[in-house]
Structure 1
Amino acid sequence: MSEFATSTAPADVVRRQYLASAAGDLEALRATLAPDVEWTEMAGFPLAGTYRTPDGVTANVMEKLGQDWDGWIAHDDTYVVDGENVVVLARYTALNKATGKPIDVRVAHHFVVRGALIVRFEQFVDTALVRDAMSA
């Protein structure tokens, strides 16, 4: 197993989460999340709310994104790390299944990593761009 795969560094834990998400590997994604994780999707985002537990996060966020969008990917571009805090500047790309409209929107994600697990996540995104792609 590679050093990256077992690293407990906060940025590496977060990176494994992005890689698992992009691959559609929900089991690997859940393995990056603490049992009491708090995962907050921004107000105005179609899945707005705070979800708890690894199963709650994947069922209410990742699986629902897969139902509504083709090729949903969070492209993690830039990492800013301060201790247990990891801020990732990224972008979402996808194609809405209902409208056929694409998105390519910039986002920021704030993660808190403790004990090699993500304990908190907060999303910042231009929700209007996402909703526009969902409107006929």
Structure 2
Amino acid sequence: MSNTDIVKRMYAAKGDMNVIRSVIAPDAQWDVTEGFPHGGVYNGLDSIVNDFFSFFRDFDEFWAEGDEFWEVDDKVIALGRYQGKAKATGDRFTSRFVHIYTLRNDKITRLQQTADTVQISRALGKN
């Protein structure tokens, strides 16, 4: 399985924590843009799953779709879109993102994320 295939598997999981846990390394780091729900830096799989991904509770639907992928050495760069529906407002949104993944031994060890946070904030009723 290529590194790109592993990243695509995570996107296809659409929030299934069993799949997400299977592709992220125990010592991974998630660096999420400020302004994104639960934006910040998370160290370790448990913190990523329990602290960061808990933002799913604010949405009736939320998923990431990768549109373009580039793989160079241990990095995968993905351009794509978040899509979803906020619980509080019922508003749907589409928000563009760039994800830069680092992988080691068939596991994601780091995510650097940037995204159009305005669209998500509006759907949550925060703008």
Match of 1:11 in 2: 4
The one-letter amino acid paired with 1:12 is D
CA distance in 2, matches of 1:46, 1:27: 21
Q: Percent identity?
A: 31
Instruction: Evaluate the alpha carbon distance shift between residue 86 and residue 27 of structure 1 in structure 2; reply closer, same or farther with a 3 A threshold.
Output: same
1:115 aligned to which of 87, 105, 127: 105
SS at match of 1:91: strand
Alignment of structure 1 residues 46-57 onto 2, 5 Å: 46-57=37-48
The one-letter amino acid paired with 1:28 is V
Unaligned runs of 5+ in 2: none
Deviation at 1:15, TM superposition (A): 1.2
Match of 1:84 in 2: 74
Q: CA RMSD in A?
A: 1.3
Unaligned runs of 5+ in 1: 1-6
Match of 1:4 in 2: none
On the 8 A contact 2:25/2:109 being kept in 1, the answer is yes
Cα offsets for 1:55-98 (capped at 9, x unmatched) = 21111232322x10111010111101111110111101111100
Match of 1:131 in 2: 121
CA distance in 2, matches of 1:100, 1:17: 26
TM-score between both structures, scaled by the size of structure 2: 0.92
CA distance in 2, matches of 1:111, 1:89: 11
Cα offsets for 1:34-55 (capped at 9, x unmatched) = 1110011101212111112222
Number of residues of Structure 1 aligned to a counterpart in Structure 2 = 126
Match of 1:36 in 2: 27
CA distance in 2, matches of 1:107, 1:11: 16
CA distance in 1, matches of 2:60, 2:43: 25
